[in-house]
Amino acid sequence: MPQPAEYRRFMGSKEWKALRAQHRKQHPFCAFCNRLAEQVDHILPARTHPEQRLDPTNLRSLCADCHSRVRFDQARGYSKAIGNDGWPIDPNHPPNRGRGVSKS
């Protein structure tokens, strides 16, 4: 997927690079699996929520594997995570559509 010029400029900006370095220093481990983090991810994507792209509370550190999984989930439109009951957790997952699964 091509990236808009504004998004590319943001990802190369001094402000983002400084915030990313500070976040990685403060949060060196993956938020999901606790391995050494290699990426700083926007919880609400910077492309769709530009007003939150420099908000430190919208960031999480991720290892490369977990970052790839998050990106695939975003592209797919739902997470494949499974709950203890064996059903997908994400209400947008196809088996949950129409089941009334809460978003909590």
**What is the extent of the structural domain holding 35?**
5-96
Give the count of domains, the chain.
Answer: 1
pLDDT mean over 21-34: 96
Q: What is the CA radius of gyration of the chain?
A: 16
104 within a domain of the structure (yes/no): no
The pTM assigned to this predicted structure is 0.70
54 within a domain of the structure (yes/no): yes
pLDDT mean over 5-20: 92
Residue 22 pLDDT more than 70?
Answer: yes
Mean pLDDT computed over every residue of the chain: 84
17 within a domain of the structure (yes/no): yes
Closest listed residue to residue 47, CA positions, set 97, 93, 5, 91: 5
